[in-house]
């Protein structure tokens, strides 16, 4: 049984910034499925890209792994020998649960769970790096240095899969995509109060860039091949190959 997300269901007098605490970790699979259009398709595609891009004896990184959904899909699709998956998150509540989830599946692939800020860890000998809805929570001024570090740690031909909530450069389209996202949430049973309180809590902590900003920055740090491979409303995923 999966716990249902009611975090923003009742009025909250002092609405603070959204954070990945124990309450969020408990309901996270339900929250992300009902809040992020295309999430399960993106997770499947991360598995497919892992099968294509993983190389023997290399490292695969899941940065901002939450409960390890992408890690598990990478592990399931990894056939190359001598690889290790490094899954990183700075929320101890998330990481604790990720450990439990991953232990419930049988696998030969070693997974190292690291509690750290993804801006502080070393990345080396990488064939696959996943940032699945994590870069959006990093302070905007730290994003380019993080992507440069990822590019440096990837082997030639290695891939970065970058999924994000986007802002559209066109204000009218931006509003339309946000409205459609809210329709998606309503269709998944969220109330107007839940939608508006979460929106306020996310305002300062989730700062979306436009797809153009992402593409330009990925090119600037040195990625040779960059494009959007999926988009649904204001959520999407990019692929960048070194
Ligand atoms: N600086 C940081 N360092 C490490 N972790 C961080 C940092 N900032 C935020 N996080 C972590 O990034 C994750 C973002 S959720 C990722 C979903 C997952 N990838 C999935 O495929 O299910 C996306 C969402 O909730 O929209 C949370 O677990 C944070 O603790
Ligand atoms: O719910 C939203 O509006 C989002 O942007 C997605 C999300 C999903 C889970 C935690 C934080 C944000």
Both tokens assigned to 128: 């696959």
Q: Find the radius of gyration of the CA atoms of the chain.
A: 18
Strand order across the 126-132 sheet: 111-115, 84-89, 59-63, 126-132, 154-165, 235-241, 225-232
From 90, 134, 143, mutation site for ligand 1 pocket: most ligand atoms within 8 A of C-beta: 134
Mean pLDDT by groups of 10 residues along the chain of 242 residues: 93 96 98 98 98 98 98 98 98 98 95 98 98 98 98 98 98 98 98 98 98 98 98 98 98
Contact status, residue 182 vs residue 195, Cβ threshold 8 Å:
yes
- Would you say 59 and 83 are in contact if contact means Cβ atoms under 8 Å apart? yes
191 within domain boundaries: no
Name the residue range of residue 131's domain.
39-167+206-241
Q: Could you tell me if residue 20 is inside a domain?
A: no
Which ligand is closest in space to the CA of residue 69? Answer: 1
Tokens standing for residue 51:
């099968």
Q: Does any domain span residue 116?
A: yes
200 in any annotated domain: no
Distance 159 CA to ligand 1 centre (A): 19
Instruction: State the Cα–Cα distance between residues 99 and 87, nearest whole angstrom.
Output: 10
Atom of ligand 1 at shortest range from CA of 118: 3
Question: Cα-Cα-Cα-Cα dihedral of 59, 116, 95, 199, to 10°?
Answer: -110
With the most atoms of ligand 2 within 8 angstroms of its CB, the residue from 42, 65, 198, 208 to mutate is 198
Number of structural domains found in the chain: 1
233 dihedral zone (left: phi>0; alpha: psi -120 to 50; beta):
left
Q: Which atom of ligand 1 is nearest to the CA of 46?
A: 21
Give me the torsion for CA of 126, 127, 130, 135, rounded to 10°: 50
Q: pTM (2 decimals)? A: 0.98
Mutate to test the pocket of ligand 2, among 8, 27, 34, 35 (most ligand atoms within 8 A of CB): 35
Give the pLDDT confidence score for residue 2 in this predicted structure: 85
d(CA 241, CA 128): 10
Q: Give me the pLDDT at residue 88, please.
A: 98
Write out the two tokens for 104: 């419930």
Cα–Cα dist 143/161, whole Å = 15
- Residue 52: inside a domain: yes
Maximum C-alpha span of the chain: 53
CA of 109 to the centre of ligand 1 (A): 22
Ligand 2 atom with the shortest distance to the CA of 24:
10
Question: Is residue 193 in some structural domain?
Answer: no
Centre of ligand 1 from the C-alpha of residue 1, in Å: 23
CATH classification at residue 70:
3.40.50.150
Whether 139 maps to a domain, the answer reads: yes
Whether 230 contacts 45, CB under 8 Å: yes
Position 134 in a domain:
yes
């Amino acid at each position: 049984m999966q716990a249902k997300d009611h975090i923003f269901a009742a009025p909250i007098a002092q609405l603070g910034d959204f954070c990945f605490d124990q309450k969020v970790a408990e309901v996270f699979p339900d929250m992300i499925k009902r809040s992020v259009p295309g999430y399960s398709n993106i997770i499947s595609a991360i598995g497919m890209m892992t099968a294509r891009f993983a190389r023997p004896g290399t490292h695969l990184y899941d940065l901002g792994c939450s409960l390890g959904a992408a890690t598990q899909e990478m592990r399931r699709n990894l056939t190359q020998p001598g690889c290790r998956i490094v899954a990183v998150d700075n929320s101890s509540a998330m990481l604790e649960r990720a450990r439990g989830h991953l232990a419930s599946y049988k696998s030969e692939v070693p997974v190292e769970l690291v509690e750290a800020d993804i801006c502080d860890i070393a990345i080396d000998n990488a064939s696959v790096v996943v940032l699945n809805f994590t870069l959006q929570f990093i302070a905007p001024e730290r994003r380019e240095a993080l992507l440069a570090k990822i590019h440096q740690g990837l082997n030639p031909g290695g891939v970065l899969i970058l999924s994000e909530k986007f802002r559209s450069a066109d204000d009218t389209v931006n509003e339309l995509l946000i409205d459609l996202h809210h329709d998606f949430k309503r269709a998944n049973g969220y109330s107007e109060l839940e939608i508006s309180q979460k929106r306020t809590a996310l305002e300062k902590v989730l700062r979306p860039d436009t797809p153009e900003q992402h593409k330009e920055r990925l090119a600037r740090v040195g990625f040779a091949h960059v494009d959007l491979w999926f988009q649904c409303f204001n959520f999407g995923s990019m692929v960048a190959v070194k």
